[in-house]
Chain A
């Protein structure tokens, strides 16, 4: 779960990582009576990247200018995301810009600390064009991140004196935040020199979805659509896509593959929905209900390979919640015979071959 910048900065403040003084507003009127010193920076709070280029970050020298920018940015669309909040902060006179992050390195199976003197720009670009400007250390979870790690990294990116002392403190705090809050990524870019101190100008935090149960106080996930949230609450894994054939299957790999097979035969999937291992009749009925609610869905393809999941449970779910659109079912595996009988009694044919079934659902939508 990705946090908004202002949420990430609230965490930073909690862990004593210095950030600019600021506040969040939802309408321009809230600018009145803020006890912040001009100039101010107004930053669109969206989860997509590239907000600066899209005009979502503006500097205001006067209250009138701030109002004007706030009106322009609030409600703006940035890559399909509507701006609902603005972070208003005291603008800082920025010197050198650095980069600091802790990231779960999947390949290495370790948490990695990354620092660079080339801050303020996309670190992926730095990694590609000037890898020598990036300092890294892979961490042992039983040793943690010690101050010698931080001193080493800081030295490698050219920090010394009071700035290095600052960097060591901030890095230790950021590591503490990362492990305590179960983040899979924490990033400060830029970590800028302001006066004689380091300040976190931007903040990115992604919390591990699997660890949300340990953090009941975290803000709610805003990356999900309404239907995606509904699905999650029902224990279903659902992702909205922009096609017209709704897809339900069991197992993430099988469902991903089902989307590919449907696309291969010329269909456009409307969603990804994994009912999960051991799905019950109720799960299946809920799944059908959710995928059918999405506007533009013209057919449903159910692809089940029963393992822990029993075909008879799936069949009962289907008959309990018949979809409002045409449906093609492929059913095989555990309790296949019972499942087929239940569907047959309801007048539903169950395919055995997934590719044949995929072709059938595509032809239904194409009206052939």
Chain B
């Protein structure tokens, strides 16, 4: 099992004819994802890695029965692409695009809420269910199927931690990159709820960072609802207040966002929090009660 996407997911790539769209469509196909359609307005009729390209999402869905979207459209066109995908009831809609204006994101998440569609991102690496499907840009070789759910606001830090798990023989059900923007679709709490309900997921790794209070909200959910173990890691313990650390959402404000507050909230909720990223896999191994070779 997995969450959000599985072997039945039929992926439609918006912006498939662009440099990133074309490159990552190839990687998704290599991973084993069913990429069934691409959309680039004005470029319908082409094929990218054998995948047919359409002018509109509606047409693509009619022809290919696509049921999930992956958006590579540059930031200035990403809102319209996302609204089009939600309008066609693709689910999930994964927005890889970086740099979307926050007022655009507000419209996208509101329309998604209304349409009961799950949006992942924007500014995210995507979703990977090893052995089943990948939507997005996470490197293929890092993953292996197994019992750990991974949810994170960061890309490469997720790769680092997943590589640590896989090298110890510990696989993953699904890894979800939520995205580094201040407002995103699927939240930590949403992801925890999915992992809690997924029978194959035994342990959840939550990789947070400074900014906002999504980790604190997640901690409340862990305390009140989760029966599964949660291992945390929070980046940005040494980040100064008021500075945006790369991600639009990674900024400590006078009222919220410090790593210390997030770590404390998670620990109080019963999660174990690693000090170094390299410790996460060991904590997971301890929880799973496995012995490495």
Contacts and interface: CB of A to CB of B under 8 A. Distances in A.
A140 B110 contact: yes
Contacts of A255: 245-246
B106 A141 contact: yes
A208 B110 contact: no
B201 to A, nearest CB: 22
B213 interface: yes
Contacts of A142: 107, 110-111
Contacts of B153: 253
A260 interface: yes
B217 A254 contact: no
A333 B240 contact: no
A261 B276 contact: yes
B106 to A, nearest CB: 5
Contact of A259 (B180, B239, B277): B239
B255 to A, nearest CB: 5
B102 A211 contact: yes
B100 interface: yes
Interface string A341-362: 0000000000001110000000
B244 to A, nearest CB: 7
Given A208-B101, A210-B248, A261-B277, A111 B236 contact: no
Interface size on B, as a range, is 35 or more
Given A142-B110, A210-B75, A257 B101 contact: no
B7 interface: no
B103 A256 contact: no
Interface stretch (A7-15, A102-110, A165-173, A292-300): A102-110
Contact of A107 (B156, B217, B276): B217
B239 A256 contact: yes
Nearest to A208: B102
A189 to B, nearest CB: 14
Contact of B154 (A208, A254, A334): A254
A211 B100 CA distance: 7
B102 A253 contact: no
Contact of B180 (A213, A253, A264, A355): A253
A27 to B, nearest CB: 29
Nearest to B243: A239
B212 interface: yes
Contact of B100 (A106, A210, A264): A210
A179 interface: yes
B243 A184 contact: no
B182 A104 contact: yes
A141 B103 contact: yes
Main secondary structure of the interface of A (DSSP, over half): mixed
Given A141-B110, A269-B238, A107 B214 contact: yes
A268 to B, nearest CB: 9
Interface string A260-302: 1101100001001010011000000000000000000000000
Given A106-B249, A208-B102, A354-B278, A184 B110 contact: no
Given A141-B110, A250-B156, A307-B138, A272 B276 contact: no
Given A210-B75, A277-B155, A254 B236 contact: no
Interface residues of A, number: 53
A85 B13 CA distance: 50
B275 interface: yes
A305 interface: yes
A135 to B, nearest CB: 18
Contact of A111 (B106, B125, B210, B240): B106
A214 interface: yes
A251 B183 contact: no
A354 B163 CA distance: 12
Interface in B241-271: 243-250, 254-255, 259
Contact of A252 (B111, B113, B160, B245): B245
B254 A251 contact: no
A251 B235 CA distance: 12
11 contacts: A107-B213, A109-B110, A142-B111, A252-B246, A257-B277, A260-B276, A272-B243, A272-B245, A305-B160, A307-B156, A308-B137
Interface of A: 49, 104, 106-107, 109-111, 124, 127, 140-142, 179, 182, 184, 208-211, 213-214, 237, 239, 241, 249-257, 259-261, 263-264, 269, 272, 274, 277-278, 305-308, 332-334, 353-355
Interface of B: 20, 75-76, 98-103, 106-107, 109-111, 113, 125, 137-139, 152-160, 163, 180-184, 207, 209-214, 217, 233, 235-240, 243-250, 254-255, 259, 275-278
Given A110-B110, A214-B101, 7 more contacts: A104-B183, A106-B213, A141-B106, A209-B248, A211-B102, A253-B209, A261-B277
